[in-house]
Each structure stands twice: as structure tokens, then as C-alpha cells.
Structure 1
Amino acid sequence: MIRRITALFFLGFASVCFAQLGGESTYQFLNLISSPRQAALGGKIITNFDKDVTEALYNPASINSDMHNQAALNVSSYLGGITYGTAAYAYTWDRRVQTFHFGVTYINYGEFDGRDLNGIATGTFSGNEVALSFGYNYNIPFTDFYVGANAKVITSQLEQYNSVGGAIDLGVMYINENLDFHAALTVRNLGTQFTTYAGVNERLPFEVNFGMSQTLEYIPLRWHLTLENLQEWPIGVSNPARATTDLSGNQTEEKVGFLNNTLRHLILGAELWPDRGFNLRLGYNFRRAEELRILDQRNFSGLSFGVGLKINKMKFSYTHARYTASANTSFFGLQIDLN
């Protein structure tokens, strides 16, 4: 049984292991950060294994019985007036052995003015996308390994164009309880479009992430390290604003070296008092910082920070994330214990 699960996992990974980043695929909203806690820790954190029911939207291997009857709602005021959010719920069945997870991810792009080829107004239109997910986790017997999967149905409406698709996420997590150390690997958005926008079948935003985290022995702090977008190693793109010009007027593009490419895959985060009723969180996303920074100006792009506060059976979370000097985001979250 274990061999079959492992073989299927890596077969699915190998069959679609090609480079996909922003602008190269459809349904890009599937890779947006899922919760304020994840956003505060830099984004794409996949190693939490606790009551945080939203975590399973990014890594189904994190589904566990502690999530039983936990419901969460998260909303973000994103860039350019865009709003998006997530909702999640988990239920444990069969003597706390089997836990099922349900999730929703949505995005609303707002309202736009429509015009024809001659510039004449044709009214307004909007765009929105939604993904519904169902997840399940399995602890491989007599091991510290957990495997999980999410099945997703995706709908998208952009002006008069519509599309429906399906995808699955696969995750595996290793937990060493003695060291309080977690390591995880996720392969996300393996799928296809069932119906296309205009007769052209587009790729889904396939993504491979690896993460580690550990709570320090004598300090109430948990560190997180994530390597994102491992399906494409040379992730850096030269910035035209950083091109150099010689005396003859010849331009030389910025060269993104090996170290720069490596750092752009890295996300670091830290959570103070992770098991208490009050938490402080801090994160740094190297790729966001490098791609959005302004030359000769310090604007702290890539930095994020947040707090979590538990009151009785409710837990509130808030995160502020820096993108550019003129555009930042706020993320609000509420999780309720329904037990």
C-alpha cells in the first residue's frame, strides 16, 4: 500500500514537472496565500500541524483530528481594489481516526468599464473565480509520515468568458515529535480545464514547495523555512530598470546569478508563542522583495508581520504585508471552535 501511494505521488509529479509561474497559466488565484497566519510568516507555509484549519488548503497532509469542528473565514484587501478570501471546515469521523476537510477559495476582481474597438463605452463588467475543495489525510501505519490530497473544482467568469476546471493537490509531511520538527513537500494544482474561455486549453499554475519548521527548545518560538516554486529553478527575470549603458550606448541586461536565483525561492518566518492565546508573527519573502523593490530606495518589500489573539472559542488573526511603496495588503481572519 505504501509503495503504491509513493509511486502515484511521484508519477503525478513527474508527468507535469514543467516550469509555470505568473502569467504562464490560468487560475492563478489558486496560489494566493490562504490565511493571515500564512501571510504573516512570508507566505506558502506548509508545515503547521495543529488546529489551524485553513492550513490544509495549501497542504492536505496537515489535516488532523485537532481540526475537528473548526471553521475559519479569511478576507484580504488585495492590490488594485481586488478582494479575495478563503473559508475552511474540518470534521472527524469514525472515532477520531478519519478527518475530512472542506474549503473555498474565491477572488473578486471588481468592476471594469467596457469599451469597443472604437473606444465607445459598452457598459461595465466584472470578473470572479471560485475553487471548492475536499481533502483527506492518511497516516502511514507505524511511521511519522502523513500523506494527503485535495480535490478541487474551479469555476471562473471573466466578462463574458467562462471556464470550469479541476485539480488535485498532493502533500506529504514528516513529524518528529521528540524534536518538534516538521518537514513537508507539496505538489499543487495537478489538473486541467474541463471547459475553456475561448477554445484554447491553458495550463494550471502547477507548483512544488518544500518546507521545514521547528519550535526551539528553550525559547517559545517556531521558525519556518520554505522553498517555493521548485519546479523551476532559474526563477529570476532581469529587470529592465537595472540595465547598464556604456559610452557607446550599448545596453547590458541585468544578470541574475545563481545565488540571487536561490534566494528568490526562499521564504523565512518566525512565530513567537505559537501555542499560546497570543502570537506574534514575522516573515520575509525574498522573491517578492527582489522583484518589487525600487532602485535606490528602501521600501521593505517582502516583509510581513501579524498577530493572533484567542478569546474563548474564537481566534482572530491580522496581517500586514509590504509589496511596494504604494501598495500593501491587509489580511483578516477568524477561526471558531464549534465543539
Structure 2
Amino acid sequence: MKALIAIACLIPLFSWSQIGGQAGYQSLRLTTNPRAAALGGTTVSLADGDISQFFENPATLDSVKSKNIFFQINPYFADVFVYSGAYTFNVANAGTFAAGINYVNFGSFDMTDENGNHLGTFQAQDYTIQVGKAHQLGPFTLGANLKLTHSSIEIYGSTAVLMDIGGIFRPSKNWTVALVMQNIGGRVSEYTSFSSPSIPFDIKLGTSFKPEYMPLRFTITTTNLVDQNVIQDEESSGRNSKGIDKVWKRVNLGAEVLLSNNIQLLVGYSHKRKQELRLDDIGGGAGLSYGLMVKVKRIEFRFSRATFHAAGGSSFISLRTDLNDFKKIL
């Protein structure tokens, strides 16, 4: 409990230090697994043995067994591809750890001089490597991810060392409450001497609950709690909203339909995405997301689709399994 109080006291310090500056490392904001994508884009309170959730909140690792493995592919927009992978392992006298990687390939770009003459092509890519650990203290769990992130454009690159700190409280068997602070840290190298992109620090608060006699689990996640740009971006776009609408832009909603242990349907909604990416006269489904989980012989497959605007959306595909059970599959 003392640790959670200390984290809460540090929130204003981190929010003051991270707001402002040029936006950088935006790949850190991308969704890293189909489950979160289907539930509105992010969720920090699901701790039920799913290793992919440690990208969202390291405290969820207290429910994950050793030798779990996860892999995702996300064909994004304009030939951009996002890949994610994670694995849990035991360390003697230290317990279970998780290691993961997120890799974003932005593809090839034409290189030209100031006159427009073609000089060749160049690549752009981002990657983040992280290691996480969680520790349970009664109904509370605390966790941390240590992350190394690197962004490169042609011969230029920037590197940062970051940390996620998260906590989960379980008031009852079917109810969890979570708080996570993401991307605490700083840059260790810059693209150029005159480039200082800011790090997208964020604080997220969420809860998941399942009514005892219903095959449903609901998730509510608040995000961008310290990001003043949520309002500034809106004003610069000419789409001003009032009162409660500004609050809803920080809230993601999701629900899972638990048809069985092997089949689940998911649906979610992001009001921020809807407001920012809808057309002036039609929403086009922006902000909506949905997904499906199917488990076949202990291998879990997930597919999700997030709608960004009337022109389409982005798909997420993953598989997850426990290598301890792999011989049983064969």
C-alpha cells in the first residue's frame, strides 16, 4: 500500500517533466496486441494469464506462467508493419520474468536532393526491447518494465532508456483495478544536435469486472491523463467540444463475450479516435473495434480489427501458447 501511495505522489512530478517539446517516439503509442486493440485500443487491468498484457501493464505478469510465448503481426497503414513478441522465463531465486520486443518497419522512402533529383532510397524503423517483472503483495501486485527504445531514419537515430511502473488491486475474484505510468525516462542519444523530441509519457487508470452470473467481462480504461495535447490538438483542428465530451476523449470502453473457455468475442470503442478521425458529416465507424479469440489444442489465436476512419482500419493477428504444454499438443 505504501508503494502505491508513493507512486501517486510522484505523478505530478512526472507529468510536469514530460509535457511539451516536439513529439517523438510515437511508435510507443501503438497498440501491441489484438486483445487491447479490440477493447478500444488499450487496457491495463486484465490479469488472467495473458502474456501480451505485460506490454500494457507489467503488473499483469503475476498471473503468467513461465514458458508462455506470444507473437503478433499488425499490417498498419501505407505499408507500415508492426511486429510484437514476448516470452516468460524463470530466473533462479528471482521468479518469473518476461522479455518482449516491438518492431515497427516504416518501409522504404525515396531520397532526393533539394532540386528533387532521385538519389536512391532509405529505411525508417523503430524498435523497443523490454524486460518485465511483477511481485504480489496480498491483493496488490506491483510490476515494472525496463525498456530500451531506438528510432532510426536513414543514418540518423535516437535512443531512450525508459521504464513502465504498474500496479493492480483485486477487490474480489472478478474485479481488478489498475494504474500504470508508461515511458518514464529520458533520451541517451539524439537524431541531431538540434533535435530533442519529447517522450510520450502517459498515465493510465483502468478497471475490469465480470458480473458473477453473466458471460461478459467489461473493461474501462482512462488514458492521456497528463497529456494536455488532447485539448490542444482538438483546438488546432477546429473541432472544439465541450464539457463531458472532453472527458470521454480520455476513456476507452470494451467488453468480452465469454462464450466458452475456447471462444470469445470482443468489442470496443475509443471516443478520442472517433472525434479526431471521423469525417465532418459522417463517422464512418471511426472509434469502433472488434475481435475474436479461438483456442485450439492449447494454442490461442486472436484476430482484431480497429476502425480508424471511413477509408478503413487496421488488423491485428496473434498466437499464444504455453511451451510446457507443447508436447501435449503433439
State TM-score, norm by structure 2: 0.91
Q: Determine if contact 2:21/2:196 at 8 Å carries over to the other structure.
A: no
Match of 1:166 among 161, 164, 168: 161
Q: Determine if contact 2:62/2:141 at 8 Å carries over to the other structure.
A: no
Q: 1:311–1:190: structure 2 CA closer, same or farther, 3 Å change rule?
A: same
Alpha-carbon distance between aligned partners in 2 of 1:22 and 1:299, rounded to the nearest angstrom = 32
How big is the alpha-carbon RMSD for the aligned residues of Structure 1 and Structure 2? 2.2
Amino acid at match of 1:115: T
Partner of 1:196: 190
In the TM superposition, residue 19 of structure 1 has moved relative to its aligned partner by 8.5
Alpha-carbon distance between aligned partners in 1 of 2:120 and 2:19, rounded to the nearest angstrom = 33
Partner of 1:40: 38
**SS in structure 2 opposite 1:9?**
helix
In the TM superposition, residue 275 of structure 1 has moved relative to its aligned partner by 6.4
Alpha-carbon distance between aligned partners in 1 of 2:259 and 2:14, rounded to the nearest angstrom = 36
Q: 1:231–1:166: structure 2 CA closer, same or farther, 3 Å change rule?
A: same
4+ long deviations beyond 6 Å? 19-23
In the TM superposition, residue 40 of structure 1 has moved relative to its aligned partner by 0.5
In the TM superposition, residue 256 of structure 1 has moved relative to its aligned partner by 2.3
Q: 1:22–1:270: structure 2 CA closer, same or farther, 3 Å change rule?
A: farther
Match of 1:99 among 93, 96, 99: 96
Q: Does 1:118 align with 2:115?
A: yes
Q: 1:65–1:40: structure 2 CA closer, same or farther, 3 Å change rule?
A: closer
Q: How does 1:31-70 map to 2 (within 5 A)?
A: 31-70=29-68
Amino acid at match of 1:109: F
Alpha-carbon distance between aligned partners in 1 of 2:262 and 2:20, rounded to the nearest angstrom = 37
Alpha-carbon distance between aligned partners in 1 of 2:224 and 2:250, rounded to the nearest angstrom = 7
Q: Determine if contact 1:18/1:232 at 8 Å carries over to the other structure.
A: no
Partner of 1:268: 253
Q: Determine if contact 2:308/2:314 at 8 Å carries over to the other structure.
A: yes
In the TM superposition, residue 85 of structure 1 has moved relative to its aligned partner by 1.9
**SS in structure 2 opposite 1:16?**
helix
Partner of 1:224: 219
Q: How many residues align?
A: 322
Which ranges of structure 1 fall in alignment gaps of 5 or more residues?
242-252
Alpha-carbon distance between aligned partners in 2 of 1:254 and 1:235, rounded to the nearest angstrom = 12
**SS in structure 1 opposite 2:78?**
helix
In the TM superposition, residue 216 of structure 1 has moved relative to its aligned partner by 1.4
State TM-score, norm by structure 1: 0.89
Partner of 2:26: 28
Q: 1:210–1:313: structure 2 CA closer, same or farther, 3 Å change rule?
A: same
Which ranges of structure 2 fall in alignment gaps of 5 or more residues?
325-330
Deviations, residues 109-135 of structure 1 (Å, cap 9, x unaligned): 011111111111111011001111011
Amino acid at match of 1:324: H
Alpha-carbon distance between aligned partners in 2 of 1:212 and 1:321, rounded to the nearest angstrom = 21
Partner of 2:175: 181
Q: Does 1:132 align with 2:122?
A: no
Amino acid at match of 1:25: A
Q: 1:22–1:74: structure 2 CA closer, same or farther, 3 Å change rule?
A: farther
In the TM superposition, residue 232 of structure 1 has moved relative to its aligned partner by 2.9
Deviations, residues 22-70 of structure 1 (Å, cap 9, x unaligned): 9943111112111011100111101111121010011001112533211
Identity, % of aligned positions: 29
**SS in structure 2 opposite 1:54?**
helix
Match of 1:325 among 302, 305, 310: 310
Partner of 2:328: none
Q: Determine if contact 1:78/1:330 at 8 Å carries over to the other structure.
A: yes
**SS in structure 1 opposite 2:15?**
coil
Partner of 1:334: 319
Q: Determine if contact 1:79/1:327 at 8 Å carries over to the other structure.
A: no
Q: 1:126–1:262: structure 2 CA closer, same or farther, 3 Å change rule?
A: same
